[in-house]
Amino acid sequence: MNLSLTLFVYLQSKVDVNVIDKLYHTIINILFIYWVKSRDCHTMHGRIKVKTTAEQLEAKQKERETKLKLYTAATDRIFKKRLNKEYDDEVLQLTGQILQLNSDFSTLWNYRKEVFLYYKETKSEVEMCDIYTQELQFLETCLRGNPKSYGVWNHRYFIMETMATPDWKTELQLCNLFLEYDERNFHCWDYRRFVVKHSGVSIDDELRYTTSKIDTNFSNFSSWHYRSKLLPLIYPDDETAVGVQEDVLIKEYETVQNAFFTDPDDQSAWFYHRWLLGRAKTKPSVSCMFVSRDQGHLMIVTTQAVKISPSSCEVKVVVNGEEKAGKWRTHRNQENVYSKLWIFKSADGSSWLPATQEVDVLVSADSDDWGSSDIVQLSADQSESWTLTQADQGSRFSDELSSATSDTLQRELQSIQDLYQLEPDNKWVLLTIVSLMKALDPRQYWEKIEGYLAKLTSIDPLRINYYQDLRSRYVVENYFEGFDFSGRVISLPNHSLTCVYHPELFSMVVKVDLSHNKLTSLAGFSHFQCARELTLDDNQIANLEELSFLKDLSLLSVMNNAIATQTALTPLARCPRLIKLHVEGNPVCELVQYSDIKHTVPSLHNVNGHIFG
């Protein structure tokens, strides 16, 4: 104000009084406006003092507390109304206010569903049409705020399924809109598949849509995934690896290759390529049958994990033309679970096999979901017998490729190897080379595959366990591709195995040597149902629980492992035929005497060479 007064006195001596008056009032107005805007500030010694940080934090804290009180009051009111089973417009209003702030509040979405189900029974179709329309508009508003909210999309599913006359065309346009915002919104892609299913949109049009989205952005994993679902429907072919016609499959390799070279570091196209190299989902069938007079049971191995039970799939056992009554259980004595290994025994535990008679045992599934049945023969002088599906021999883990597909994969391999020269440290390039070599000829390329896997462990150390397990899988698969089951002996020492894949294939083997590997777990070893001798020396095993299911085991060698306590040996007490145990080199041997081990496992006659009378 001092400045304006000085200016007024000066101008009064120089300028017309009316002009001075107008100018003075203008200055006063400007100063007033400035004062209003700075009302949260005050001056001291001519300087403006702004609120301190502490004062600002306190103001924000009060604002948050106020909002929290309103939020809590609204939710309390909602929960009270739900407890009283009140279904009215106030519920929609209150829940709507909260959900616009927090669209992931699942309880409130459930309450809104209850209101809509109640309205559907109490209101007319005309009224419901308006209510549904308003709800869809509300949901679109929520999606604009949080386009990846599970709650919003799930509620939209519910509304569209509950409406009498849903407008699917508009919903498809909504999907297009949100996929323009974010083409990788997998929530919207899932909802789009739901809309397409109900609206009758051509799957050919949908395939073209995925092509357009991929052309726009190769990094659109959802589009690649959707494409993998559409191709088997449009171009079905059970003869090819993924159930897609061969000529179409070859074109897909070319499409995905363009994505590789455009952006080698993007994982979307690489994952799709792995799907192209995958196997088709075939009907489960029996790949191995084993029958034993001594044990009085039949054991089958299936190509896929299945659940055998009267409610899911009735698998019949016919002996010499007569159907036998009995129960199927897994190797772990379980029912109503999925497994690749199943054991059949009579319902009362008695023998269902003739003692001295030639036997034909037929297994057939009373289901269209299963493949062909199988049969095993047991001659009069045999105590046990088995059969293998001949189609599995030499191609158990790989498909026989046509010349056209083989040529395409060879060209793919050459192209990716060229890319490898440009991107020597790209893990996706290396993994794809390994997958292609595995698909073409895993045994021929084994040395190169092993070298690439070794490099992967060095350039991607965070996934070293994955690469080591993958290598172990390939070792086991290569071994079984050339394995002669007639000897029933498996020897895989010194192979750096970190785990054992396909344990069901060990089910009828009597002698197994897996010593000098890197096993830390015996996961899957309960499949070794016929094992009598098991050598696991020089690994890193600490837990023997899986071995408790091996009723024929008579010799176990676990020298130089990590078995630390006497308690860790207790599972062996459930192996009734175990008489010989080598456990030296384990920490437990420094803590207990041989007699203590004998006390833990009463069936033992020999512990570390010490004979018990």
> Residue 282 carries which DSSP code?
P
536 and 602 part of one domain: yes
Domain limits for position 526 = 483-611
| pLDDT value of position 39 | 46
pLDDT in tens, 222-257: 899 999 899 988 988 866 566 788 888 888 888 888
- Please provide the average confidence, as pLDDT, over all residues in the chain: 84
Regarding whether 240 and 104 lie in a shared domain, the answer is yes
pLDDT digits (tens, 9 = 90+) for 570-599: 999 999 999 999 999 999 999 999 899 999
* 478 within domain boundaries: no
- Asked if residue 461 belongs to a domain, the reply is yes
User: So what's the pLDDT on residue 372?
Assistant: 64
Q: Show which of 276, 305, 322 is a domain's final residue.
A: 276
Residue 182 is part of a domain; what is its CATH number? Answer: 1.25.40.120
pLDDT at 353: 77
Q: Low-confidence residues of the chain, pLDDT below 70?
A: 1-52, 63, 238-242, 279-281, 349, 371-373, 390-395, 398-404, 613
3-class SS of residue 73: helix
Q: Which of 366, 392, 418 is the last residue of a domain?
A: 392
Both 424 and 507 in one domain: the answer is no
The DSSP string of 543-606 is --GGGGG-TT--EEE--SS----SGGGGGGGG-TT--EEE-TTSGGGGTS-HHHHHHHSTT-SE
Q: For 60-100, how does the pLDDT look when each residue is reduced to its tens digit (9 = 90+)?
A: 777 677 777 777 888 888 899 899 999 999 999 999 988 98
- The pLDDT value recorded for residue 320 is 84
Please indicate, yes or no, whether residues 117 and 255 belong to a single structural domain of this protein. yes
State how far the Cα of 364 lies from the Cα of 354, in Å rounded to an integer: 20
Q: List pLDDT tens digits, range 442-453.
A: 888 999 999 999
The predicted structure's pLDDT at residue 178 = 92
pTM of the model: 0.76
Same domain, yes or no, for 103 and 243?
Answer: yes
Domain CATH code at residue 451: 1.25.40
**CATH number, residue 356:** 2.60.40.1130
Q: Alpha carbon of 604 to those of 535, 562, 578, 579, 608: distances in Å? A: 16, 21, 6, 4, 11
| Domain total of the chain | 5
